[in-house]
Structure 1
Amino acid sequence: MPVDTIDDLADVFEYETIAVVGCSSTPGKAAHDVPNYLRKQGYDVIPVNPFADEIFGRPVPDSLADVESEIDIVCLFRPSEEMSEIVDAALERDDIQVVWAQRGIRDDEAAARVEDDGRVVVQDRCMMVEHRRLAA
């Protein structure tokens, strides 16, 4: 079952490094503003986007496989139909502990694969909204 309790969500925010698949370089888009908020809260945000060279002053890898540093959480800003492929890439890495699908993104079969591998999954929730709610 995907994470949905306050305590379980709070545990997710104990991690430090978040790779944001589909991160946008355009302010005003959720895929830019949410990761930027997380950066300002002290998280190490790694933007992942094959169509951008630099976001937040950082070089942008094309895919999770191209991220050279350790990742704790993968945050998805891609359509639901792409979640399965991104989950497969996340499960190929031993370092990723959490797959977080942003609001409106859901794939129950892919989520079950994450859980079956002993990792945590959150679906259809905004990281910024949940972080603010827990910090209040």
Structure 2
Amino acid sequence: MSDPREILAGTSTIVVVGASRDPDKPAHSVPMQMMRHGWRIVPVNPFVSEIFGVRAYPSLADVPEPLDMVNVFRPSADALDVVKAAVELGARSIWLQQGIVNAQARRIAEAAGIPYVEDRCLAVERALGRLSRVSG
């Protein structure tokens, strides 16, 4: 597994698969916190057209730009398909949120040479590393 803080420090845009419009869910609060600290968020959710005031896309394949980091807020069983798509689309890094683990997905990302993190929270790593994309 790659160094989470190093990956985060080198990322400017986070594509969030499974982003939620429900403010009580981590899939909403974590990306919102990352936005507040300067990361650009691109939500992927097939059921809404906008989250965080930003256009949402139905799938990774619909995101019309290179994938910097793909952040996964989907169950572990769904992570494999997301990681396969992220690898196919040339993602620079892949991050599965806390509680999400998939050994096959990890092997696929590592075989493709893509930095990969699983079972870690973006917001916690940002806080521990005192990282921010916002200049003081």
Q: Please give the root-mean-square deviation of Cα atoms over the aligned residues, in Å.
A: 1.1
Cα drift, residue 10 of structure 1: 2.2
C-alpha contact 1:19 1:47 (8 A) present in aligned 2: yes
List structure 1 runs of 4+ shifted beyond 4 angstroms.
none
Give the match for residue 39 of structure 1: 35
Unaligned runs of 5+ in 1: none
2:117 matches 1:118: no
Structure 2: tracts of 5 or more residues without a match: 132-136
Cα offset for 1:118? 0.6
Q: CA deviation at 1:64?
A: 0.3
Give the alignment of 1:1-136 within 5 angstroms: 2-3=1-2, 8-13=3-8, 14-94=10-90, 96-135=91-130
Offset at 1:97?
A: 1.3
Query: The residue matched to 2:125 in structure 1 has which SS?
Result: helix
Deviation digits for residues 34-79 of structure 1 (CA, Å, limit 9, x no counterpart): 0000111111100000011110111110000000022210000000
TM-score, length-scaled by structure 2: 0.92
Aligned residues: 130
User: TM-score scaled to structure 1, two decimals?
Assistant: 0.92
The secondary structure found in structure 1 opposite 2:31 is helix
| Sequence identity percentage | 39
Provide the rounded CA distance (Å) in 2 between the counterparts of 1:83 and 1:10: 21
> Counterparts of 2:108 and 2:50 in 1: how far apart (Å)?
32
- The answer as to whether partners of 1:17 and 1:70 remain within 8 angstroms in 2 is no
